Amino acid sequence: MPSKSKNVRLEQRRILEKKLDLRLQQLAQKGISKEKAQSDPLVKNLKAKIRQTNIRIAVFEKYVKQAEELAQAKAQKLAEPKKKKEKKPKAEPKPKKKTPAPADKKPKKPAAAKVKTPPKKSTTKKKGKSRV
């Protein structure tokens, strides 16, 4: 589970930096140059973890800064005197639209002119014993 505390992340970064320094000292004792030491897999891994931790710390700082700005804006808003809302005169009401009857529509047939057809009988067989 990722840590949600900036202090924990700072401690993690400090530990990773110590491990990196220790690894670089070990490689120097073996006679490996600094350029070669940078290509060591453990050194690369530790540097990557340090970068990730730095990114996470920056995110913490971003959220803290954002929270401070919001709190400051809220305090400033509360400190300002309330302005009385002026009632604006309402605009004239819009006239209702009249829908003229279109001339191209066919007139409806009277209900008596419709012919009703009887419902179709189903063609499915009933389930049961067959007689032979």
Give 65-90 pLDDT, tens digit per residue: 999 999 999 999 888 877 666 666 67
**Are 52 and 92 within 8 A, CB to CB?**
no
**CA–CA separation, 50 and 27 (whole Å):** 19
**CA–CA separation, 90 and 94 (whole Å):** 11
So what's the pLDDT on residue 65?
A: 94
So what's the pLDDT on residue 111?
A: 59
pTM as predicted: 0.54
Residue 103, pLDDT above cutoff 70: no
Q: Which two tokens stand for residue 94?
A: 């819009």
